[in-house]
Amino acid sequence: MVLLVHLLPSIESPSRREGFFLIEQIVWNIFFSTLSAAASREREFCNQVNCLAELIMSGRIVERDYQPRQSSSRGEVSVIQKDSHWQSDSIRNFYSSSAEEKCREMGKSSAVSLSVDSFGVMKDPMTKKEETVWIYTWRNAISCVTVKVISYGATILAIEAPDKNGVLQDVVMGFDTLEGYFNPLNPYFGATVGRVANRIANGKFFLDGKEYHVAKNWNGKHHLHGGIVGFDKFNWTGFVDGNALILSHFSPDGFEGYPGDLMVQVRYELTPDDALKINFSATTSKLTPINLTNHSYFNLGGHDSGSEEIYKHLVVINADKITETDAESIPTGKLLDVGGTPFDLRSEKALGVAFKATTANGYDDNFCVTKYTDGLTFVARAVHPTSGRFLEVYTDQPGVQFYTANFLPDPEDAAAAKLHGKGGGLYSKHGSFCFETQKYPDAVNHANFPSTIPQARRNLSPHLCLQIRL
C-alpha cells in the first residue's frame, strides 16, 4: 500500500511496462509489510511512549508540537510540512526546543524527526517536464546530528554532527542550491550513482551472447557511474514511511545502452544512535548489470576545511587485496595482496603519511573486503582526532572504492577552475574522501569478480546496505 498510495499518482500516463513494475513493486511491499506491520507498530509505540515519558519526567521537554500527517494533492510527497511533526496511530516524533543546549545530558533516548520542504525546480532529462525537487531533513534532538537528502539524484546534501566540544559542523561536500548540483564540475557529490557505479572498460560488455554498448563518458573511452545521464541526474520519487525515506526511479530498457526496464529504490533512515542506513533494491525485466552506491565526499574536520584536515584523518580499511588497474584505472582482472604496500590500511594510518607512499599521491582504488559474507561486514573507519568525529562503514558488498578526491581542482594550479560549495567553501584536490561500497569495477567483463548480474530477472531483493556512524 505504501507504493500504491504514492507512486501511482506521481506518474502521468504511465506506459504498460512502467505500470507492470509498479504493480510488482506494490505486491512485494504488501507481502513484506504485512509480515512485520503489527509487530513494528507495537514496538514503535512502546519505544516512543517510554522515551517520551522519560523526557517528560526528567523535565527535559520544553516544547512539543504534534500535528496530523499532511499530504500533497498529487501524492508526490505525503509527509509533514517544514518544521512540523506528525503522528499516525502512535506518537511519531517529539522534540525539545532547547535540544542543542541539552543534547549532551539527555542520553540516547530516541528523538529523531523527519521533515520535508521544496528545494527547487528542474526539468526531467527525458520528458523535459518541470518537477519539484524535495529536501528531506532528519534531526536527532538528543545528539544534534542532522542529515539532509534531496530527491535530485537521491543525494545526501548534508550531515551535521557535533565535535567533542559540542560544536556542530557539516562533514560532507555539497551545494546550498539545486543549481549548484547542475555545475559541470560537480563530481557526484552525495549522489546515488548507477545503473552501474564505477567503470566499464571500453564502454561495452557481453550478456547472453549479445554485445551491449554504453556511454563512454570517462576519457572518451570508458563508461563511468551510469553514463552521461546517470541516476544522479534524475529527480527521484519520494515517499516517507515513519522515520525512513524511500526514493524510487524507473529506468527504461535501452537507456544509456543498458538492457531491461529497471525499477530501483533507495531507502534512507537515521537511527536514534546516529547510524545512517542506506539500502538499495531493484527489479528488472531482463538480465542486466546493476551496481549501485552512494558517492558522498567526507571531511570530518568540516566540509570546507580542506586537505590540511584530511591529512590528519586516521583510516582503517578491512581489505587484504585490491583490484589491480592499468593507467586508466581499468581493472586488469588480477587481485593484488596489500601486504607491504601503501594499500595496506588494515591497521590505522594517518592519511597524510599514506598519501606520500602512493605513486599517484592519493587513492582511487577498489579494496576487496576481507571475509566478505552475505550479511553486514565492517568495511572501513575514519577518525578525525582534532574534532573527535569518526565514521564507520558496514556493507553487504564485496568491495569499497576508497577515493581521495584526486580529480577535484588542484589549488596549486592557477589555471584550474574553482569549485565552490556550501557557504562559499572552496572544494579542492585531496580535500575529502569517499568510501563507495560496491561490486568490483568492470565486474561485467571479468568472470572471476563477484557478479553484478542479479540471479532473478524479476525479483525485488536487497542490493546494498550501508551503515554510517558519526
| Higher-confidence position of 73 and 296 | 296
- Looking at the predicted structure, is the pLDDT value of residue 437 above 80? yes
Structure confidence at residue 358 (pLDDT): 84
Between CA 196 and CA 258 the distance in angstroms is 9
Calculate helix-pair angle for 2-10, 16-58, nearest 10 degrees: 120
Q: Which residues of 420-431 are buried (b: 16+ CB within 10 A; e: fewer)?
A: ebbeebebbbbb
Digit-coded pLDDT (tens) for 245-257: 999 999 999 999 9
CA 293 and chain centroid, separation? 7
Beta carbons of 361 and 310 less than 8 angstroms apart? no
Spot the catalytic one: 6, 223, 295, 384: 295
In a domain, 289, yes or no: yes
Structure confidence at residue 217 (pLDDT): 92
Between CA 331 and CA 323 the distance in angstroms is 6
In a domain, 69, yes or no: no
Helix ranges, 128-262 (H): 178-181
- Looking at the predicted structure, is the pLDDT value of residue 3 above 80? no
| Mode of pairing for the β-strands spanning 67-68 and 86-87 | parallel
In a domain, 3, yes or no: no
C-alpha cell at 377: 561486514
Cell numbers 527489479 correspond to what residue?
283
Between CA 453 and CA 203 the distance in angstroms is 17
Closest residue by Cα to residue 28 from 235, 281, 250: 281
Whether 295 sits among the annotated catalytic residues: the reply is yes
Between CA 18 and CA 10 the distance in angstroms is 12
Structural domains in the chain (count): 1
Structure confidence at residue 456 (pLDDT): 61
Beta carbons of 185 and 171 less than 8 angstroms apart? no
* DSSP helix, strand, coil percent of the chain (3-state; round to 5): 20, 35, 45
Digit-coded pLDDT (tens) for 372-395: 677 788 999 999 999 999 999 999
Structure confidence at residue 380 (pLDDT): 95
Structure confidence at residue 215 (pLDDT): 95
DSSP of 148-187, one letter per residue? EEETBTTEEEEEEEE-TTS-EEE-B---SSHHHHT-TT--
Domain extent at residue 156? 112-469
Q: Which residues of 5-31 are buried (b: 16+ CB within 10 A; e: fewer)?
A: ebbeebeeeeeeebebbbebbbebbee
Whether 412 sits among the annotated catalytic residues: the reply is no
Digit-coded pLDDT (tens) for 259-315: 999 999 999 999 998 999 999 999 999 999 999 999 999 999 999 999 999 999 999
Structure confidence at residue 245 (pLDDT): 97
The enclosing domain of 341 has a CATH number of 2.70.98.10
Per the confidence metrics, is the pTM higher than 0.75?
A: yes
Between CA 226 and CA 222 the distance in angstroms is 11
Continuous segment of H or E residues that includes residue 32: helix 16-58
Structure confidence at residue 19 (pLDDT): 54
Between CA 421 and CA 418 the distance in angstroms is 10
* Mean of the per-residue pLDDT values of the chain: 80
The β-bridge partners of 210 are: 207
Structure confidence at residue 469 (pLDDT): 58
Digit-coded pLDDT (tens) for 46-55: 344 344 334 3
Range ranked top by mean pLDDT from 44-53, 80-89, 354-363: 354-363
Q: Which of 78-87, 148-157, 300-309, 359-368 has the lowest mean pLDDT?
A: 78-87
In a domain, 67, yes or no: no
Query: DSSP label at 315?
Result: E
Structure confidence at residue 374 (pLDDT): 72
In a domain, 335, yes or no: yes
In a domain, 38, yes or no: no
Digit-coded pLDDT (tens) for 414-431: 899 999 999 999 999 999
Spot the catalytic one: 303, 313, 436, 463: 436
In a domain, 438, yes or no: yes
Cell numbers 506518537 correspond to what residue?
91
- Looking at the predicted structure, is the pLDDT value of residue 353 above 80? yes
Beta carbons of 121 and 130 less than 8 angstroms apart? yes
Residue 113 half-sphere exposure, CB side, CA atoms within 13 Å?
25
- Looking at the predicted structure, is the pLDDT value of residue 84 above 60? no
In a domain, 456, yes or no: yes
Q: What is the mean pLDDT of residues 154-159?
A: 98
